[in-house]
Structure 1
Amino acid sequence: MFDILSGLRVVEAASFIAAPSCALHMAQLGAEVIRIDQIGGGPDFKRWPLSRNGDSFYWEGLNKGKKSIAIDLSNPEGRELAAAIIAAPGEDAGLFVTNFPAKGFLAHDRLAEKRSDLITARIMGWADGQTALDYTVNAAVGIPLMTGPPSLDGEPVNHVLPAWDIAAGLYAAFALIAAERKRLKTGQGGEIRVPLADVAMAFAGHLGMIGEVTESGTDRPRHGNDLFGSWGRNFATADGKQIMLVAITRPQWADLLKALEIEDGIAALEASIGLSLAKDDGLRFTHREAINAIVAPAVARRSLAEWRRIFAETRVCWSPYLTVSEGMTEKCMFSDSPLFSPVAHKSGYTYPTPGAAADFVDSIRQSPVRAPRLGENTEQVLADLLGLSDKEIAKLHDTGIVAGDSAHD
């Protein structure tokens, strides 16, 4: 964590990945983030993976460093209380992140009646309000049908990484800061809508996929594990391990040939096709099968440990294929990385926990903070933001409008 955004207050009412990750990025750069939680937890409060005692590692990962106030959002009084928290005064406040529907009690126009300069960042499925998840959006933009080996024909391959959720969360955080900058200059708030589908379709355009199909009139075929448009794929070592090799730049390609001791084989291939494979990575993709036939036996001559030693002295771009548990033993990823710190979480487990992915070199990196227990900060938020007295807070508890930290009540 860093204190770059110290003093900024963000209120979040959200579940799943995109919107909570937007507020997480804000929190990890020092903003105060207050989650409005449904009493008992929202729809993602028990989402897998779960600990042995039933706590969600997913939920506590996405909500690190935030505060939680638990409110009965099905009750009109609870909804009014939530709106008051979102619109609470403060020069560096009035920032709201949500994936609730654009219409309803958390509609921007209704909230802006309480605070005219409110900024709302709303994650959506489709821009017209239709529901969507990362996996349905991914299906709609064609990615699963260009993923996997050609033998799958028309069978899709769902990606395990929720890429559009992640991208939308990052984009929403960027847009929220941009809107806050605008407010500083103009005093105007407003609503930002970030549909997952628009993020996905925009990147399909940014990455040339729309231009490609428009010009060619055909969809991109599947290429299995081969890297599209350049050279790279997986190869087996002498001890049966799998490594990923990639050569996009000329230095990477030159060092790869030297490390694998295949300069003569590649030179013979170049002579046969009358082309230099060093000059154009697109040519390496076109002739990938011939290249792979040379590379595969070369990789198979040595063990993974031997390739680690050899590649360490080169510019070869490569990685072994690792499971998550194997990756945790990699020195650069966990034990020596300033990104991770051991944190004791509400689940009762202590494990390596990431802070902000960006490193502000001239700022002090602080250890990440665990996610809150549901309602852990209820009394504090009601007193500090809304100025409620102990008697008023007690009445809200007694009527079931709010709940505190049940683990410590």
Structure 2
Amino acid sequence: MTALSGIRVIEIGTLIAAPFAARIMAEFGAEVIKIETLGQGDPLRKWRKLHEGTSLWWYLQSRNKKSLALNLKSPEGIAIVKQLAKSADVLIENLRPGALEKLGIGWDVLHALNPKLTLVRISGYGQSGPYRDRPGFGAIGEAMGGIRYTTGTPGIPPARVGVSLGDSLASMHAVIGALMSLLRVKTGQGEGQVVDVSLAESVFNVMESLVPEYDMLGHVRERSGGSLPGIAPSNTYPTADGAYVVIAGNSDPIFKRLMAAIGRSDLGEDPAFAHNDGRAIQCDLLDEAISQWSSRHPIDFVLDTLEKAEVPAGRIYSVADIVADPHYLARGMILDADLPGGASVKMPGIVPKMSDTPGNVNWQGPSLGQHTRAVLGELGLSEETIQRLKDGGVVQ
């Protein structure tokens, strides 16, 4: 048994936000039927680095999913979606607001077909409000949600994180919402509902004390490079061999141990630095003291010293560091996967780790329409009917 055994999820989404949410559910046992357009399928199939014409990201993002290639512009295609919805627990989509309604499968229709169905809707700005009809990608959500403004080095334009953070945060909020709705249904507390997830709001939700600090104090959090404003010491520091180490010495007892480890017990015992509010006022002084010490030693010495002092510290990993790290390997976070044609490739493992119902990888992202016949057969369609739909451009 897996955590989501017996849960059926329909995915009508492309690229990142809805597909990542559905992938998480598929990894923990949900049956995920991904509906793709005929001919080309999800554009993610051609994004970033390709292997024999197919994106390596696709194989990761769509693992454990079934691909149903369907023409949603045809009445028969919509009829198939409706039939699937009758037995589904969750439908996840990231189309523009109103798109499902134009197809004839809006919330009113779906809820009437299956009152227990949860509809998860992911969009740039949500299903309501003055911006609902604007196109929105994850990058725009990061900008509007506040994280772009605070990311980077002071004095230069804001930077972006090197991954699609806005989409991924929306995906995780979508899964949380779906599971809360499922719990309500499965415990008999009520019917299915709409889970409305905004990319911008998902980013905004992780912005900590941004709003109350502005409202009460007029403080606007700015870009701060590698430091964590108002929490000290916590920064990125140079080492003698040209590397960088992240050191988080920001709790009171850890700060004392850090100062002792770098030979600055005078600072560690100074009453002015006993608590974070005092340290934050003079964070530059503390950062300079730590940098002077770290820059005199190679990174391995720095890390070994701080580990013995029980001070949180770590080197900044590249992907090469990650795939070679013994802890990642011991935790099952680097898996070997087989691709079509026999090639083997490393893939990320599954998060979170669950003791009794762990997730697993059954297969990598499928070929376009790989499961069309199987899914339609389970709906009771005969081989003759499936072939007729295929010949008529309804399925692939």
Give the TM-score of the pair, scaled to structure 2. Answer: 0.90
Contact 1:138 1:200 survives alignment (8 Å): yes
**Counterpart in 2 of 1:378?**
372
**Counterpart in 2 of 1:212?**
213
Once residues 42 and 347 of structure 1 are traced to their aligned partners in structure 2, the CA distance between those partners, rounded to angstroms, is 20
Contact 1:341 1:352 survives alignment (8 Å): yes
Once residues 315 and 48 of structure 1 are traced to their aligned partners in structure 2, the CA distance between those partners, rounded to angstroms, is 42
Displacement of 1:12: 0.7
After superposition, residues 152-167 of structure 1 pair within 5 angstroms as 152=156, 155-167=157-169
Matching residue within 77, 87, 95 for 1:100: 95
1:77-102 residue CA offsets vs partner (Å, 9 max, x unmatched): 223222322x233xxx3321111234
Once residues 88 and 100 of structure 1 are traced to their aligned partners in structure 2, the CA distance between those partners, rounded to angstroms, is 21
Is 2:277 aligned against 1:282? yes
Displacement of 1:125: 1.1
**Counterpart in 2 of 1:110?**
109
Change (3 A) 1:261 1:162: same
Once residues 357 and 148 of structure 2 are traced to their aligned partners in structure 1, the CA distance between those partners, rounded to angstroms, is 41
**Counterpart in 2 of 1:188?**
191
Is 2:154 aligned against 1:142? no
Once residues 94 and 353 of structure 1 are traced to their aligned partners in structure 2, the CA distance between those partners, rounded to angstroms, is 29
Aligned length: 385
Change (3 A) 1:176 1:213: same
Change (3 A) 1:125 1:42: farther
Most deviating of 245-254 and 46-55: 46-55
Is 2:392 aligned against 1:399? yes
Displacement of 1:329: 1.4
Contact 2:4 2:30 survives alignment (8 Å): yes
Matching residue within 358, 362, 381 for 1:388: 381
Change (3 A) 1:201 1:235: closer
**Counterpart in 1 of 2:227?**
226
Look up the equivalent residue of 2:393 and give its one-letter code: G
Displacement of 1:311: 3.0
Look up the equivalent residue of 1:208 and give its one-letter code: S
Displacement of 1:399: 1.5
Once residues 262 and 47 of structure 1 are traced to their aligned partners in structure 2, the CA distance between those partners, rounded to angstroms, is 54
**Counterpart in 2 of 1:197?**
200
Displacement of 1:183: 2.1
Matching residue within 352, 356, 373 for 1:358: 352
Matching residue within 246, 252, 255 for 1:253: 255
Most deviating of 367-376 and 23-32: 367-376
Once residues 82 and 361 of structure 2 are traced to their aligned partners in structure 1, the CA distance between those partners, rounded to angstroms, is 32
1:1-58 residue CA offsets vs partner (Å, 9 max, x unmatched): x711111111111112221121111111111111111123345333432224231122
SS at match of 1:203: coil
Contact 2:336 2:344 survives alignment (8 Å): yes
Look up the equivalent residue of 2:136 and give its one-letter code: A
Look up the equivalent residue of 1:148 and give its one-letter code: G
Q: CA RMSD in A?
A: 2.2
Change (3 A) 1:4 1:329: same
**Counterpart in 1 of 2:86?**
88
Contact 1:235 1:296 survives alignment (8 Å): yes
Contact 2:350 2:360 survives alignment (8 Å): no
**Counterpart in 1 of 2:50?**
51
Once residues 356 and 267 of structure 1 are traced to their aligned partners in structure 2, the CA distance between those partners, rounded to angstroms, is 40
Look up the equivalent residue of 1:139 and give its one-letter code: A
**Counterpart in 2 of 1:5?**
4
Look up the equivalent residue of 1:240 and give its one-letter code: G
Once residues 347 and 36 of structure 1 are traced to their aligned partners in structure 2, the CA distance between those partners, rounded to angstroms, is 25
Once residues 47 and 305 of structure 2 are traced to their aligned partners in structure 1, the CA distance between those partners, rounded to angstroms, is 40
* Contiguous gaps of at least 5 residues in structure 1: 404-409
Look up the equivalent residue of 2:369 and give its one-letter code: G
Displacement of 1:146: 2.4
Matching residue within 151, 155, 158 for 2:155: 151
SS at match of 1:123: strand
**Counterpart in 2 of 1:407?**
none
Displacement of 1:340: 3.1
**Counterpart in 2 of 1:292?**
287
Once residues 353 and 140 of structure 2 are traced to their aligned partners in structure 1, the CA distance between those partners, rounded to angstroms, is 33
Give the TM-score of the pair, scaled to structure 1. Answer: 0.87
Structure 1 stretches of 4+ with a deviation exceeding 6 A read none
Once residues 37 and 175 of structure 1 are traced to their aligned partners in structure 2, the CA distance between those partners, rounded to angstroms, is 24
Look up the equivalent residue of 1:14 and give its one-letter code: G
* Contiguous gaps of at least 5 residues in structure 2: none
Matching residue within 280, 284, 305 for 2:300: 305
Displacement of 1:390: 1.1
Contact 2:64 2:364 survives alignment (8 Å): yes
